[in-house]
């Protein structure tokens, strides 16, 4: 069997090398926590954060042209022409790079502001406090800074706090935060519970529009994702003395299905389209939406899950909040029959989100080839045979 993780590169490697990076970390860096690093005035950033020349960020990337979708087109009594125009704009953007903006989305602006403000209540804590929610190796939820991950090079200049969200698990976000952080985090937990619920509602509405945009029934993807196992992630990118040498989030495609991103007004999101990096400028009150690998498979490759990254700056902290919609763990992922034909035959094997999650958590560092590499892995393992429909 081919093993995918070798060092930090996704290349085949000799079987003796462990598939997951672990122990061997640089002593100097390990002795220094991310908190100490970002608070320090050291202008020499540790080598683990330096990116090779060909991957170093371009801080003045041209702006990506993306449509702004008014979600009001979905409301009853709406204008059918406006709806079909919006669906067409979504179709065009998703075939190209998978990114678009949404406005008039119905998410309360006060909730959006609070979701960004409350982040400071957590990320401003002492490291020992944040570590009460420490994310362990191989886990998807909790607090993580670069040093607890499985990689030792090309580290991201950020810290994150992630929660599981499932619509069928009442108050799951609130309970998680109170369990890990204590009763003082009840209001904080409630706020992100409420925010996750708003994101889930918007994600399902987006799935209606996306269904229409692919010529399917309006309810097709909405029904598919009504039960889901999603993630809410708070990204905190501290200022960096050498923003031209490092990245807040390295180039990756989202393995999940649909991402709804709330970025603050600082800017830093970049997308690789037409062979170069473009920036996605912040628009007050709007969300950035993008297609993930799982949806690329669900659309039989018609909609693209595109490489993107986040750059940092030396002036100010940048914050973003991402909701990653994903199917139930064991639900079979396969394209709608209407999207498979002689001109566009099946691109990917049947799989489950559980399988892709395991692959990206344990065997592979997400990049532009994730879905192809995963498909090969599934085929090698014959695990598609085990899916019970
Ligand atoms: C992500 C991501 C971009 C950003 O969290 O997957 O791509 O701007 N974030 O924070
Ligand atoms: Ni992403």
- pLDDT single digits (tens) 105-122: 999 999 999 999 999 999
**Is there a contact between 327 and 225 (Cβ–Cβ < 8 Å)?**
yes
Catalytic one of 135, 233, 318, 365: 318
Cβ atoms within 10 Å of 338's Cβ, excluding its own: 12
Classify the phi-psi angles of 196: left when phi > 0, otherwise alpha if psi is within -120 to 50, otherwise beta: alpha
- Distance, CA of 278 to CA of 63 (rounded, Å): 5
DSSP 343: S
309 catalytic per annotation: no
Report which ligand 1 atom has the smallest distance to the Cα of 288. Answer: 8
What is this structure's pTM? 0.90
pLDDT for 160-196, tens place per residue?
999 999 999 999 999 999 999 999 999 999 999 999 9
DSSP character string of 141-204: SEEEEGGGSS--SS-BS-EEEEEEE-TTSTTHHHHHHHHHH-GGGHHHHHHHHHHHHHHHHHHH
Share of the chain above pLDDT 70, in %: 86
- Output phi, psi for 93, to 5 deg: -65, -40
Task: Of 188-202, 289-303, 314-328, 349-363, give the lowest mean pLDDT range.
Answer: 349-363
Confidence of residue 388 (pLDDT cuts 50, 70, 90): very low
> In this model, does residue 72 exceed pLDDT 50?
yes
Give the least confident one: 160-174, 331-345, 374-388: 374-388
How confident is the model over 325-354, as a mean pLDDT?
A: 97
Q: In whole angstroms, what separates CA 180 from the centre of its chain?
A: 23
Give the pLDDT confidence score for residue 32 in this predicted structure: 58
- Which ligand places an atom closest to the C-alpha of 268? 1
Q: Distance between CA 93 and CA 100 in Å, rounded?
A: 7
Domains of the chain are 52-139+160-380 (2.60.120.330)
Q: Is the pLDDT of residue 198 over 90?
A: yes
- For residue 235, give the ligand nearest its CA: 1
pLDDT of residue 42: 56
């Amino acid at each position: 069997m081919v093993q995918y993780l070798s060092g930090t590169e996704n290349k085949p490697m000799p079987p003796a090398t462990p598939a997951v990076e672990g122990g061997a970390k640089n002593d100097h860096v390990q002795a220094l926590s991310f908190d100490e690093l970002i608070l320090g005035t050291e202008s020499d950033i540790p080598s683990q954060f330096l990116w090779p020349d060909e991957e170093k960020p371009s801080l003045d990337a041209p702006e990506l042209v993306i449509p702004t979708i008014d979600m009001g087109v979905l409301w009853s009594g709406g204008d059918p022409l406006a709806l079909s125009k919006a669906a067409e704009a979504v179709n065009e953007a998703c075939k190209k790079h998978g990114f678009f903006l949404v406005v008039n989305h119905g998410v309360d602006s006060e909730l959006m502001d609070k979701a960004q403000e409350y982040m400071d209540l957590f990320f401003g804590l002492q490291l020992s406090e944040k570590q009460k929610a420490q994310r362990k190796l191989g886990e998807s939820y909790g607090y993580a800074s670069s040093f607890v991950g499985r990689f030792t090079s090309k580290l991201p200049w950020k810290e994150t706090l992630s929660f599981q969200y499932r619509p069928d698990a009442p108050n799951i976000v609130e309970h998680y935060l109170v369990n890990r952080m204590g009763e003082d985090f009840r209001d904080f937990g409630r706020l992100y519970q409420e925010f996750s619920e708003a994101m889930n509602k918007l994600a399902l509405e987006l799935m209606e529009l996306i269904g229409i945009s692919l010529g399917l029934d309006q309810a097709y993807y909405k029904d598919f994702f009504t039960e889901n196992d999603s993630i809410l992630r708070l990204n905190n990118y501290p200022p960096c003395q050498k923003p031209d040498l490092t990245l807040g989030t390295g180039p990756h495609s989202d393995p999940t299905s649909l991402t709804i991103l709330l970025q603050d007004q600082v800017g830093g999101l970049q997308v690789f389209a037409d062979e170069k990096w473009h920036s996605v400028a912040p628009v007050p009150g709007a969300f950035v939406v993008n297609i993930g690998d799982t949806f690329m498979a669900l659309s039989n490759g018609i909609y693209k899950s595109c490489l993107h990254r986040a750059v940092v700056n030396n002036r100010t902290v940048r914050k973003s909040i991402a909701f990653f919609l994903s199917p139930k763990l064991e639900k079979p992922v396969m394209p709608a029959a209407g999207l498979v034909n002689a001109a566009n035959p099946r691109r990917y094997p049947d799989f489950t989100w559980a399988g892709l999650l395991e692959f990206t958590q344990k065997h592979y560092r997400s990049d532009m080839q994730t879905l192809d590499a995963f498909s090969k892995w599934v085929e090698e393992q014959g695990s598609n045979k085990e899916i019970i429909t």
